């Protein structure tokens, strides 16, 4: 409701200038004369505020509770998470801290969280590992654990590092912890959009990629992938 409300008000306004309205109200009052011809700006902060308005004022307590259940505790979602965390839990109360990162947006990270990995010599190497791996993952047609594992194994070969070295920053970027649930299954459950956002956030936590750096890395990545493909062809 909030997203539809926000998209509706980006280029149109209610006659009484109300910011919160649903689709039926928009259809009832829609008038072409009230369409703004200026270029709208997608303001995430404004969207979050409007979403808060809907959560606070647009739902009854029962509806609110049901939304929380549908979002965080639906059986299908829990059915994917429980097999990953149950072997690490001694009490049911252990499940919340083990699984909480599945319910978050971006992970709260500090630069030191992404430093000191064995086999990685610098922040730039960590940033490059995460960035190149993300580029390689973009080619996946289906986002599932086996495919993710195959892509990251290949990325380790391309970069000339052991798989465990390449994966170490991923645990922190995706869960905020150095040790967490099985990585490939975790990435599959989180979904491509969340994984992409958290990896980019981790890279930015160390240092945002400059345009010059982006171009240099992209060229080196393309060359490394081409060399890997050529080597495989020669073996075949």
User: For residue 79, is it within any domain?
Assistant: yes
Same domain, 119 and 223: yes
Same domain, 15 and 92: no
Same domain, 196 and 128: yes
Same domain, 116 and 230: yes
Q: What is the residue range of 44's domain?
A: 2-58
Same domain, 86 and 200: no
Same domain, 76 and 155: no
Instruction: Give the count of domains, the chain.
Output: 3
In whole angstroms, give the CA distance from residue 104 to residue 94.
Answer: 17
φ/ψ region of 118 (left if φ > 0, alpha if ψ in -120 to 50, else beta) reads: beta
- The list of the chain residues with pLDDT below 70 reads 72
Same domain, 154 and 187: yes
The pLDDT of residue 91 is 87
The pLDDT of residue 115 is 96
Question: Which CATH number characterizes residue 221's domain?
Answer: 1.10.10.350
Same domain, 46 and 11: yes
Same domain, 214 and 118: yes
The pLDDT of residue 58 is 85
C-alpha torsion sign, points 214, 216, 222, 225: negative
User: For residue 65, is it within any domain?
Assistant: no
């Amino acid at each position: 409701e909030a997203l539809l409300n926000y998209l509706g008000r980006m280029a149109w306004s209610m006659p009484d200038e109300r910011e919160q309205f649903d689709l039926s109200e928009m259809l009832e009052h829609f008038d072409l004369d009230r369409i703004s011809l200026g270029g709208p700006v997608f303001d995430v902060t404004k969207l979050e505020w409007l979403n808060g308005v809907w959560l606070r004022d647009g739902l009854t307590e029962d509806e609110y509770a049901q939304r929380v259940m549908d979002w965080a505790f639906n059986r299908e979602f829990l059915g994917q998470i429980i097999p990953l965390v149950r072997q690490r839990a001694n009490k049911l109360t252990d499940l919340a801290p083990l699984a909480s990162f599945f319910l978050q947006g971006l992970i709260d990270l500090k630069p030191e969280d992404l430093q000191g990995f064995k086999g990685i010599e610098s922040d730039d190497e960590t940033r490059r590992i995460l960035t190149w791996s993300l580029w390689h993952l973009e080619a996946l047609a289906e986002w599932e654990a086996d495919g993710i594992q195959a892509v990251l194994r290949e990325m380790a070969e391309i970069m000339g590092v052991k798989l465990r070295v390449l994966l170490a920053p991923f645990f922190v970027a995706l869960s905020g912890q150095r040790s967490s649930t099985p990585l490939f299954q975790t990435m599959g459950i989180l979904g491509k959009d969340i994984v992409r956002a958290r990896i980019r956030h981790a890279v930015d936590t160390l240092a945002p990629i400059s345009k010059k750096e982006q171009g240099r890395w992209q060229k080196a990545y393309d060359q490394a992938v081409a060399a890997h493909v050529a080597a495989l062809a020669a073996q075949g």
